[in-house]
Amino acid sequence: MDKELVIVLDFGGQYNQLIARRVRECNVYCEVHPYTLDIGKIREMNPKGIIFTGGPDSVYNEESPRCGKEILGLGIPVLGICYGSQLIAYLSGGKVKTAPVSEFGKTEVNIDNSSVLFQDVPGNIIAWMSHTDYIAEVPEGFRICATTPVCPVAAMECKEKKLYATQFHPEVMHTQQGTKILSNFVYNVCGCTGSWKMSSFVDETIKNLREKVGNGKVLCALSGGVDSSVAAVLLSKAVGKQLTCVFADHGLLRKNEGDEVEAVFGPDGPYDLNFIRVNCQERFYGKLKGVTEPEQKRKIIGEEFIRLFEEEAKKIGAVDFLVQGTIYPDVIESGLGKSAVIKSHHNVGGLPECVNFKEIIEPLRMLFKDEVRKAGIELGIPEHLVFRQPFPGPGIGIRIIGEVTADKCHIVQDADAIYREEIAKAGLDKSLGQYFAALTNMRSVGVMGDGRTYDYAVVLRAVNTSDFMTAELAQIPWDVLGKVASRIVNEVKGVNRVLYDCTGKPPATIEFE
Ligand code: XMP
């Protein structure tokens, strides 16, 4: 990998990977590490810069996450954000206190743009704040370079020691010029040249995978979705025929998807892969019988996947590694960091406790969906695959409210196929972030022909998002929605009503479960 590395030390904030992603957007390679990362290891990694993240704690609490003061004396530039800024102040002898007035959300910040951190940033910006503590007194050798009406130290710097701190969050979209501020840090303070590209990630990952796997055998859990496809191709480039891709056709896929995936990754497709398709619809429907609670469904599907992969691995013999296409939002929402559990993404929190593989490899674990797509393009995966609609590992098992049955699966598959067809016809398929049909558990009275019906309501969902961590409602023209609704009630048996979900994320999630 290009030696230009910036590391983010994670103190438990919500936006840690977002910081890393923003730095990568500046063409500088960036990784997130726990705040406990050993100082010797940091020296060895020789980063051009270090960023301390935010976090929910107060620096003066004994049990709060803290790194040693020595990090600040390595001569490596450090930028502290929110809690990270307070930590720099605390470790350097400044004073951090509970602010008389907390600041949450969009806040006007006065900037002193003589600071290299704020070069070419206007004197006044709107920035995203989220704090109750603040720096009340800057440490010796530091100077204040931004303020708000209630926060005397919205940013500070110690040019000689290359230490910088912002109380606000430059990494979030709501902070005006946030990317500019981060790029000032990585270019002007750390002296990075910005030579990193996604192709470097791809090359380096292939090299590392080759080293890790050695002569071992690898099984890749391939769903045909973007993430697992990119993971499979990475592994295939790294270890060739030591890899076997196992595709579980579990009856929870989209309409015709089993055949479509086989056409791409099977023996007639463009890749020279060991590909096994396991038809296991009845097995999954059986396990899901009577289950209505969404987390339980996820756990069951996750467990069944793993058991199936273990069985396949046993047939192949001596398989040490299982590869999954886990990406960053899966990790964060499964609550494996410090954040709350939103849901157990099947390839993360949905894993059973005991898994019969020596190691699970997740080469995309730190990337966001759009970054995975860039990696896919670098790998030469056809665009129609790379820009496919995201589809969750547990499939339509989590797009059916209430019990999952084969009949309900067919309803969702048929309704979703119509929806996708009409969206494509209307030329909207490239501009929408994610869209799909789901099945509510609600049946209601309708009238069709001359008869009464008592059938299900299908719900249509469409959102726009770039990182899938947040999303907003996509506004689909009424005539398109009307056409989809009319086709669904006419063509899909068992449905007499079509609803449109108008909620963003938050407060909802993208999936409908
Ligand atoms: P949510 O519903 O959590 O979805 O807002 C965010 C993105 O993640 C996808 N998703 C999953 N992907 N396994 C996956 O591989 C999962 O268990 C899973 N759950 C949600 C979802 O489709 C959306 O793109």
Mean pLDDT of 362-371: 90
What is the model's pLDDT at position 476? 96
What is the model's pLDDT at position 73? 96
**pLDDT tier for residue 46 given thresholds of 50, 70 and 90:** very high
Q: How far is the CA of 150 from the centre of ligand 1 (A)?
A: 39
What is the model's pLDDT at position 220? 96
Query: Which of 345, 401, 435 best tests ligand 1's pocket when mutated (most atoms within 8 Å of CB)?
Result: 345
Mean pLDDT of 283-289: 98
How distant, in Å, are the alpha carbons of 4, 84, 419 from that of 166? 23, 8, 46
pLDDT, tens digit (0-9, with 9 covering 90-100), for 132-169: 899 999 999 999 999 999 999 999 999 999 999 999 99
Mean pLDDT of 265-272: 90
CB of 27 within 6 A of ligand 1: the answer is no
Q: Whose C-alpha lies nearest to ligand 1, atom 21?
A: 392
pLDDT, tens digit (0-9, with 9 covering 90-100), for 453-501: 999 999 999 999 877 778 899 999 999 999 999 999 999 999 999 999 9
pLDDT, tens digit (0-9, with 9 covering 90-100), for 101-137: 888 888 999 999 999 999 999 999 999 998 889 999 9
Q: Taking CA 373 as the corner, what is the angle to CA 430 and CA 501, rounded to the nearest 5 degrees?
A: 45
**pLDDT tier for residue 308 given thresholds of 50, 70 and 90:** very high
For residue 337, pLDDT beyond 90: no
Active site residue 171: yes
How far apart, in whole angstroms, are the C-alpha atoms of residue 383 and residue 3? 30
For residue 235, pLDDT beyond 60: yes
Going from the N-terminus, what domains does the chain have, and what CATH number goes with each?
Answer: 5-189 (3.40.50.880), 198-386 (3.40.50.620), 399-500 (3.30.300.10)
How far apart, in whole angstroms, are the C-alpha atoms of residue 464 and residue 442? 26
How far apart, in whole angstroms, are the C-alpha atoms of residue 313 and residue 221? 11
**pLDDT tier for residue 2 given thresholds of 50, 70 and 90:** very low
CB of 390 within 6 A of ligand 1: the answer is yes
For residue 118, give the nearest of 71, 168, 74 by alpha carbon.
168
Q: Which residues partner with 29 through β-bridges?
A: 5
The catalytic residue among 169, 250, 345, 346 is: 169
For residue 45, pLDDT beyond 90: yes
What is the model's pLDDT at position 506? 84
For residue 342, pLDDT beyond 70: no
How far apart, in whole angstroms, are the C-alpha atoms of residue 465 and residue 463? 6
What is the rounded average pLDDT for all residues in the chain? 92
- How much of the chain exceeds pLDDT 70, in percent? 95
For residue 353, pLDDT beyond 80: no
Q: Whose C-alpha lies nearest to ligand 1, atom 11?
A: 392
For residue 320, give the nearest of 290, 272, 358 by alpha carbon.
358
The catalytic residue among 26, 67, 82, 190 is: 82
Note the pTM of the prediction, 2 decimals. 0.77
What is the model's pLDDT at position 99? 84
**pLDDT tier for residue 1 given thresholds of 50, 70 and 90:** very low
